[in-house]
């Protein structure tokens, strides 16, 4: 039987060992003092679940290809596929990324294409999310206190008790209806901070297709990152 490759990460916040499977592979997150000799038995025990998850991700990747970071490659952007045009410029200290139609032009110095694209998507996320958020709170008659754009690995968005909103720039790699759903989800949390039946009733009134949108995120979320 072929061994499953995995990496180990110690986390001071972890209280128990857990296994993460995403587009970067298999990662075992363990507490600071967790015995490393216990990692392999854990992976063996969870092997059937790991293999099922990897198969589902492979099928999802065929349906929704992840970004291909190279000249001539394509990256998703709210339902579109933008073709990358990449060039290196000697002496350039800061990357420059701009969109023209269906092409995303990137002029790079010594930096990586990944970092340049992430910066561009973060800037665009503030615009795309901000517009949707303003419209959603206007319809709901509520308000938020701030907006931040992040790149969390496992979280798409959050709403704090003070009304501060945080969204993952990776949502711009998804179709627009997915971003719309996540915005409505967080705006509903301004009124109901839990996931009680009242919350889901409220969300259903604003986004009747939320179950399909949530299922799409679970299936394709691993592809929404560089």
What's the pLDDT at 109?
93
User: Does 153 reside within a domain?
Assistant: yes
What's the pLDDT at 138?
97
What's the pLDDT at 60?
82
User: Does 1 reside within a domain?
Assistant: no
pTM over 0.95: no
Q: How confident is the model at residue 215 (pLDDT cuts 50, 70, 90)?
A: very high
State whether 47 and 127 are in the same domain: no
Residue 176 to residues 37, 115, 164, 206, Cα–Cα distance (Å): 45, 23, 22, 16
Q: Tokens 């945080």, residue?
A: 166
What's the pLDDT at 223?
86
Q: What gap in Å lies between CA 151 and CA 160, rounded to an integer?
A: 17
State whether 109 and 133 are in the same domain: no
What's the pLDDT at 24?
79
State whether 11 and 96 are in the same domain: no
Instruction: Say whether pLDDT at 153 is over 80.
Output: no
**Lowest-confidence segment of 38-42, 61-65, 161-165 by average pLDDT:** 61-65
Mean pLDDT of the chain: 94
Bigger pLDDT: 152 or 94? 94
Q: Tokens 């139609």, residue?
A: 101
Instruction: Say whether pLDDT at 22 is over 90.
Output: no
Q: Give the sign of the dihedral formed by CA 151, CA 166, CA 154, CA 172.
A: negative
Q: How confident is the model at residue 103 (pLDDT cuts 50, 70, 90)?
A: very high
State whether 136 and 181 are in the same domain: yes
Long-range interactions of 194-203: CB distance < 8 A, separation 24+: none
Q: What is the mean pLDDT of residues 163-172?
A: 97
Number of domains in the chain: 3
User: Does 69 reside within a domain?
Assistant: no
Q: pLDDT, tens digit, for every residue of 112-121?
A: 999 999 999 9
User: Does 25 reside within a domain?
Assistant: yes
State whether 55 and 85 are in the same domain: no
Q: What is the CATH number of the domain that holds 207?
A: 3.30.2010.10
Residue ranges making up the domain that contains 16: 7-63
User: Does 183 reside within a domain?
Assistant: yes
User: Does 171 reside within a domain?
Assistant: yes
Q: What gap in Å lies between CA 41 and CA 25, rounded to an integer?
A: 18
What's the pLDDT at 18?
94
Percent of the chain beyond pLDDT 90?
83
Q: What is the mean pLDDT of residues 8-31?
A: 91
Q: How confident is the model at residue 19 (pLDDT cuts 50, 70, 90)?
A: very high
Q: What gap in Å lies between CA 22 and CA 152, rounded to an integer?
A: 13
Q: Which two tokens stand for residue 159?
A: 């709403």
């Amino acid at each position: 039987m072929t061994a499953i490759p995995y990496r180990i990460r110690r986390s001071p916040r972890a209280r128990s060992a857990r296994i993460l499977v995403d587009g970067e592979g298999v990662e075992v997150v363990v507490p600071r003092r967790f015995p490393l000799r216990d990692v392999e038995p854990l992976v063996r025990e969870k092997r059937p679940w790991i293999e099922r998850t990897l198969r589902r991700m492979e099928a999802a990747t065929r349906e929704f290809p992840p970004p291909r970071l190279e000249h001539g490659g394509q990256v998703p952007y709210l339902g579109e596929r933008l073709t990358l045009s990449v060039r290196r410029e000697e002496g350039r200290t800061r990357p420059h990324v701009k969109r023209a139609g269906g092409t995303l032009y990137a002029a790079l110095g010594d930096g990586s294409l990944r970092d340049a694209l992430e910066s561009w998507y973060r800037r665009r996320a503030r615009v795309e999310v901000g517009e949707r958020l303003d419209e959603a709170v206007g319809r709901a008659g509520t308000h938020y206190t701030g907006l931040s754009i992040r790149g969390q690995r496992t979280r798409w968005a959050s709403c704090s008790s003070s009304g501060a909103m945080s969204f993952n720039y990776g949502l711009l790699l998804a179709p627009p209806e997915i971003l719309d759903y996540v915005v409505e989800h967080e705006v509903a949390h301004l009124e109901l901070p839990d996931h009680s039946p009242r919350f889901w009733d409220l969300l259903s009134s604003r986004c009747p297709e939320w179950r399909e949108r949530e299922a799409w995120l679970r299936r394709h979320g691993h592809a929404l990152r560089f």
